[in-house]
Amino acid sequence: MATIEHISCLQPLVDTFGRVHSNLRVSVTDRCNIRCFYCMPAENVHFKPRHELLSFEEIERFVRVAAQLGVDKIRLTGGEPLVRHGLPDLVRKLAQVPGIRDIAMTTNGILLAEQAQALKDAGLGRLNISLDTLEPDTFFRISRREGLAQVLEGIFAAQRVGFRKIRLNAVAIRGITEPEIVPLGQFARRHGLEMRFIEFMPLDAEANWDDQQVITGEQIRATLTEGIGPLNPLPVEDPSQPATDYEFADGLGRIGFINPVSQPFCHHCNRLRLTAEGQVRNCLFSIEEWDARRLLRGGASDEDLTALIRASIGAKKAGHGINSDQFVKPDRAMYQIGG
Ligand code: SAM
Ligand code: SF4
């Protein structure tokens, strides 16, 4: 992978609150092979036509420009990134961009078993795999599709091909997740994986979210402590990481909590986003976007793209404000943004 020494880094992406942005989330598609109720509608999903999505070359150019502004970490996401044909080719291109030192992906795991080796060979470093439950019926209730067996196969295939840092993500929803918490914790311990619980955010396409459905990280931690054993906090390796990490006192298994609702971490946010159709967003909850695709397709210079990225970062708000009366839910749901 190329190192930062090889590029001349321009002024970094600092917003008006002094946050330096070095982490870019790239959505490669809004399509998905399942329909999680906390993200997508059940039926009649209107996906973007193929020609509206950025090509791999366009994504690569955007990343090259962002890398010159200090972006060094990329996370590929979606929709489901593995439904985008030829994803390892994109990973290979991005791994060669000077300054990019880490490429990760968030996936639902269904197509992972067949692509894990190619992704590893292309330079993908880290994987987050969504796993909300170990029960097929609950998987169907959440995702409105079959697929748990493939997800589990995907997790084990990723381990076999040598991915070291695999995290499992579960969105915690009241009325569904309670009986899953201890079995998921035990599964992670048994298989040497890190489990992360994410609080449910108001980004579901059907706009059914309300705060009564949120199980807080604190509540999950209490359940794990009672059901498995004491958890000790781990030192913070990177202040911009969204998770608070713990380890079981017996040293077997790490658990992370991402608590955007009960403990917002916006003050340390270092992330910007590129949607599948080339819109720059400075926050998951942003209601404004900056059109990079128009520039990429209109013969714009790198300076023009730089100015667009800086404009987006310059307009970033202090926080998402989920808990305030003024909170405005974005028009887009999670699958259309890239989580
Ligand atoms: N399809 C891939 C997957 O599910 O892992 C990647 C995209 S998905 C939008 C990224 C992450 O966002 C997943 O871990 C998913 O569980 C999480 N997510 C989706 N909707 C959410 C919501 N309303 N609140 C919290 N997390 C959510
Ligand atoms: Fe698909 Fe991921 Fe959204 Fe579930 S959370 S519907 S897997 S994009």
pLDDT digits (tens, 9 = 90+) for 287-306: 999 999 999 999 999 999 99
Cβ of residue 197 lying under 6 Å from some atom of ligand 1: no
Residue 2, pLDDT above cutoff 70: no
Measured from the alpha carbon of residue 199, the closest ligand is 1
Residue 318, pLDDT above cutoff 90: yes
SS3 letters across the chain: CCCHHHCCCCCCEECCCCCEECEEEEECCCCCCCCCCCCCCCCCCCCCCHHHCCCHHHHHHHHHHHHHCCCCEEEEECCCHHHCCCHHHHHHHHHCCCCCCEEEEEECCCCHHHHHHHHHHHCCCEEEEECCCCCHHHHHHHHCCCCHHHHHHHHHHHHHCCCCCEEEEEEEECCCCHHHHHHHHHHHHHHCCEEEEEECCCCCCCCCCCHHHECCHHHHHHHHHHHCCCEEECCCCCCCCCEEEEEECCCCCEEEEECCCCCCCHHHCCEEEECCCCEEECCCCCCCCEEHHHHHHCCCCHHHHHHHHHHHHHCCCCCCCCCCCCCCCCCCCHHHHCC
Residue 6, pLDDT above cutoff 70: no
Structural domain harbouring 195: 4-337
CATH of residue 186's domain is 3.20.20.70
Q: Which of 24-38, 141-155, 255-269 has the lowest mean pLDDT?
A: 255-269
Indicate which atom in ligand 2 lies nearest the CA of residue 79: 8
Q: Which of 1-5, 36-40, 50-54 has the lowest mean pLDDT?
A: 1-5
Confirm whether pTM is higher than 0.85. Answer: yes
pLDDT at 165: 86
* CA 235–ligand 2 middle distance (angstroms): 31
Which residues sit with their C-beta closer than 6 Å to ligand 2? Answer: 32, 34-36, 39-40, 78-80, 108, 130, 334-335
Residue 22, pLDDT above cutoff 70: yes
- Counting ligand 1 atoms within 8 A of each CB, the residue from 39, 40, 284 with the most, and so the one to mutate, is 39
- Counting ligand 2 atoms within 8 A of each CB, the residue from 34, 139, 169 with the most, and so the one to mutate, is 34
* CA 11–ligand 1 middle distance (angstroms): 32
Task: State pLDDT tens for residues 100-141.
Answer: 999 999 999 999 999 999 999 999 999 999 999 999 999 999
Counting the structural domains of the chain, the total is 1
Q: Which of 37-41, 137-141, 142-146, 328-332 has the lowest mean pLDDT?
A: 328-332
* CA 332–ligand 1 middle distance (angstroms): 13
Residue 179, pLDDT above cutoff 90: yes
- Counting ligand 2 atoms within 8 A of each CB, the residue from 35, 83, 108, 203 with the most, and so the one to mutate, is 108
Task: State pLDDT tens for residues 211-270.
Answer: 999 999 999 999 999 999 999 999 998 888 899 999 999 999 999 999 999 999 899 999
Q: What is the mean pLDDT of the chain?
A: 95
pLDDT at 9: 60
Tell me which residue has its CA closest to atom 7 in ligand 2: 108
Residue 167, pLDDT above cutoff 80: yes
Tell me which residue has its CA closest to atom 7 in ligand 1: 78
Cβ of residue 200 lying under 6 Å from some atom of ligand 1: yes
Residue 24, pLDDT above cutoff 80: yes
